[in-house]
Structure 1
Amino acid sequence: MKFALKCSPGQKIERRSEKVAIIGAGPAGLGAAGYLICKGFQVDVYDKLPEPGGLMIFGIPEYRVPKKNVRAGVKELIELGVNFILRTKVVADEEEHVDGDDFVEHKVHLEELINNYNAVLIATGTWKSRTLGVPGENLKGVYLALDYLYRIYTSELGYLPKSVIYPTGEKVAVIGAGLTAVDAAIEAQRQGAKEVYVLYRRTINEAPAGKMEIQGLIKRGIKFVELVGITEILGKDHVEAVKLIKMRLGKPDRSGRPAPEPIPGSEYTMDMDTVIAAVGEVPTPPFKDGCCGIKLTLHGTIDIDQKHRTTRKGVFAAGDVATGPSLIGKALKNGIDAAMAIEEYLLKGGWREQ
């Protein structure tokens, strides 16, 4: 995973006076940092975690993204002159605790960065999981997938004690069929679960993770149950069972996939002692809608134009916080595209029409 994509071998970088602040050291932020440092700009990358890499280090398993590759790319950026300011959270208005906040030692206000830098790029990603929105999801033994995985990987890296890892029961239900659901199912099995079920409201053909990933789970002995929706989590204090309803596929919805429709009267229960919700992540911009003159969309992403410009002059956004959840390669490219727009802005000026 290389981030300094625009430096030619042996290229002598001519240093410029313009300074750019990048908020977030995930793939979009690192991609942007690589482009901008090679163009001679001064680049400071702010991140709340103890090392750069974002979810590639702290939320995605080694078999999917080798951490040594991420670290090699970061080392190259540092050698080129990128300055990483770690364990530092950029804040604006009301603070909300999300995954990764455990390591914050310093805070800096977004407005301060906007005033002190020639351009700011927000690339804070999606550090919060969607909830299931069903009765019983506050019972003990119900976890959000990103939080579940983050605790495991951060502990394995030695940053947090093993005690932070959530206890995994013997019968685990993972809700969802994206890559995060696949990773959560594998980790639950690795944590000692005897039976792991991946419950999905569509079929294997519509699974966001792809058919091959789901087939890989099945080969591991993980059971894939399609065309089921969860309606309730049952238990007195701790999870005891999940209440499900059978689904059928209807007409395509906004995603272009067939919409799952519940079949009346088809409810049934399955005994479980652990539930992991993996139904997607939501963008985590470092501000509420309108703060610092920056608007959000109805989906919670940062409102940008085709050149990654926000509604505040000099502030850009890239990656999942602007596009919604995507794959690493897409976020990386999105960050580089934003960096090209920042270069254009710093050299030529001009801004979006409101």
Structure 2
Amino acid sequence: MTMNFAFMCKPNEVIKTGKKVAIIGAGPAGLAATGYLVCKGHEVHVYDKLPYPGGLMVFSIPSRRIRPEHVLEGAKILEERFSVEFNLRTKVTVGNAETHEEGDDFVEKVVKLEDIIENYDVVLIATGIWRSPMPGITGEELDGVIGALEFLYRWKTYELNLAPRDRIIDVSKKKVAVIGAGHSAVDAAMTALEIGAKDVYLLYRRTINEAPAGRYEISEAIREGIKWIELVSPVKINGTKRVSSITLVRNRLEEVPSGGRPRPVPIPGTEFDLEVDFVIFAIGERPTPPPGAEKVGIQINERYGNIQINEEFRTSVKNVFAAGDVVTGPSFVGRAIEAGLRAGRSIDRYLAKI
């Protein structure tokens, strides 16, 4: 079913306001905000570094969960019926700031954020989470160690006929360990099976009851052939140039005074090795604001890298707003869409006052 981002109106009902909004990032939050704002009569230009709109919905999440054509059809409606201008393969940075994230290989043009801020009434940053962190353990530099986002992204670009088969991480007939128990971990594990991996292990430091993806999702993966090992944490990755095994330690759970999820505590002397050819870390992607955003006054959380906003989705720069995973860190698509709609409403209120 086509994702209807402009569900609040029909094109012939829209009364133009003459106000211009730039949306940086064409993922769920950015497209939701776009749909809201065009229904309010504002002119919207969308900037995204990828060749298609949709963000992680198209370039990371497996097709069995979200059909990319449904997202692309929704974006096409915005473009053709509501005159939304999509500037694709375009990366937004501040000055000459440089950084490499997934998706940058498609960039053909770089636009300065400071110019966008100057040329639009409002800017919404919805650039998402395009960086996979590593845990900082011995051996993570070996060939065969990869982040879940890169693994999924490479497979999806191949599926979309945007990259040749030799660009994927080929785990066929290999043993794969996926570290984590969120949706990206399950997606990476299931994709490894789809590619033809011999064995796929899903390793989690807590139990299935605490898994962020939920007990049902993990149980479904197990039924599909995933080998679930809980209460383990990675200690080091072994090998010379390539991965040969991963050393794990068993955990026990310890209740925390605040009443949150129990804390995993390593049990001394319980280390063991698991023979694998690939290790995929799915331990939570990091927000990726436009490189150098802090140089134009946008406040960035030093620890987590997310953009700081107030209750109206405004950043520390007057006419710059932010929404979605670039603010919250990894979340569900539905929450990102909700954030985009709420940000759109705040932007519309702001535009009514200027």
Same fold per superposition (TM over 0.5): yes
Note if 1:195 corresponds to 2:199: yes
In structure 1, what is the Cα distance between the partners aligned to 2:16 and 2:310?
29
Q: Which amino acid aligns with 1:139?
A: L
> 1:252: how far off?
3.2
Could you say which residue in structure 2 is the equivalent of 1:243? 247
Residue 121 of structure 1 corresponds to which residue in structure 2?
A: 124
Task: Tell me how far apart the structure 1 counterparts of residues 162 and 11 of structure 2 sit (CA, whole Å).
Answer: 36
The answer on whether the counterparts of 2:203 and 2:228 sit within 8 Å (CA) in structure 1 is yes
Matched, 1:284 2:288: yes
State the partner residue of 1:261.
265
**Map of 1:142 onto structure 2:** 145
Per-residue deviation at 1:254? 7.3
Percent sequence identity over matched residues?
A: 52
Is the CA contact 1:24–1:123 (under 8 Å) kept in the aligned structure 2?
A: yes
Q: Counterpart of 1:52 in 2: which secondary structure?
A: coil
Query: Structure 1 residue 92: deviation in Å?
Result: 1.1
**Which residue matches 1:213?**
217
Q: 1:64 matched to which residue of 2?
A: 65
Code of the residue aligned with 2:321 in structure 1: it is F
* Equivalent residue, structure 2, for 1:30: 31
The CA distance in 1 between the partners of 2:322 and 2:330, in whole Å, is: 14
| Structure 1 position 299, deviation (Å) | 2.0
Q: Which amino acid aligns with 1:313?
A: K
The equivalent of 1:159 in structure 2 is 162
Give, in angstroms, the shift of residue 95 of structure 1.
Answer: 1.3
Residue 219 to residue 29, structure 1, CA distance change in 2 (3 Å): same
Aligned AA for 1:146? L
Give the 3 Å change call, closer, same or farther, for CA 25–10 of structure 1 in structure 2.
Answer: closer
Cα deviation for residue 309 of structure 1 reads: 0.4
After superposition, residues 1-354 of structure 1 pair within 5 angstroms as 1-7=3-9, 9=10, 11-78=12-79, 79-93=81-95, 94-168=97-171, 170-252=174-256, 256-288=260-292, 290-297=294-301, 298-349=303-354
Secondary structure of the corresponding residue to residue 240 of structure 1: strand
**C-alpha distance in structure 2 between counterparts of 1:255 and 1:173, whole Å:** 31
SS at match of 2:267: strand
Matches of 2:342 and 2:258, distance apart in 1: 27
Q: How many residues align?
A: 348
Query: What is the rounded CA distance, in whole Å, between the counterparts of 1:140 and 1:77 in structure 2?
Result: 42
Give the Å deviation of 1:2: 2.1
> What SS is found at the alignment partner of 1:252?
coil
8 A contact 2:126–2:326 mirrored in 1: yes
For structure 2, the 5+ residue unaligned runs are none
**Paired residues of 1:88 and 1:105 also in contact (CA < 8 A):** yes
Corresponding position of 1:352: none
What one-letter code is carried by the residue in structure 2 that aligns with 1:145? A
CA shift digits 1:261-315 (9 cap, x unpaired): 1111111111111111111100000034631011112421101000000001100
1:20 and 1:121 in contact (8 A); partners too: yes
Amino acid at match of 1:132: P
CA distance in 1, matches of 2:242, 2:257: 35
Structure 2 CA distance for aligned equivalents of residues 141 and 181 of structure 1: 16
Give the deviation of 1:10 after TM superposition. 6.8
Q: Is the 8 Å Cα contact of residues 253 and 259 (structure 1) preserved in structure 2? A: no
Distance in structure 2 (CA, Å) of the matches to 1:35 and 1:335: 8
- Cα drift, residue 255 of structure 1: 9.0
Cα distance, 1:10–1:238 mapped onto 2, change above 3 Å: closer
Counterpart secondary structure, 1:266: coil
Q: Helix, strand or coil: the match of 2:347?
A: helix
Q: Contact 1:21–1:117 (CA<8 Å) still a contact in 2?
A: yes
Verify the 8 A CA contact 1:91 1:107 in the aligned structure 2.
Answer: yes
Counterpart amino acid of residue 128 in structure 1: R
**In the aligned structure 2, how far is the partner of 1:74 from the partner of 1:255?**
43
Q: 2:99·2:291 contact (CA, 8 Å) conserved in 1? A: no
Question: In 2, distance between residues paired with 1:6 and 1:339?
Answer: 12
Q: Secondary structure at the match of 1:108?
A: strand
Rounded Cα–Cα distance in structure 2 between residues aligned with 1:127 and 1:46: 15
Given that residues 94 and 293 in structure 2 are in contact (C-alpha distance below 8 angstroms), is that contact kept between their aligned partners in structure 1?
no
Amino acid at match of 1:47: D
* Separation in 2, partners of 1:82, 1:289: 25
Q: How many angstroms does 1:106 deviate by? A: 0.4
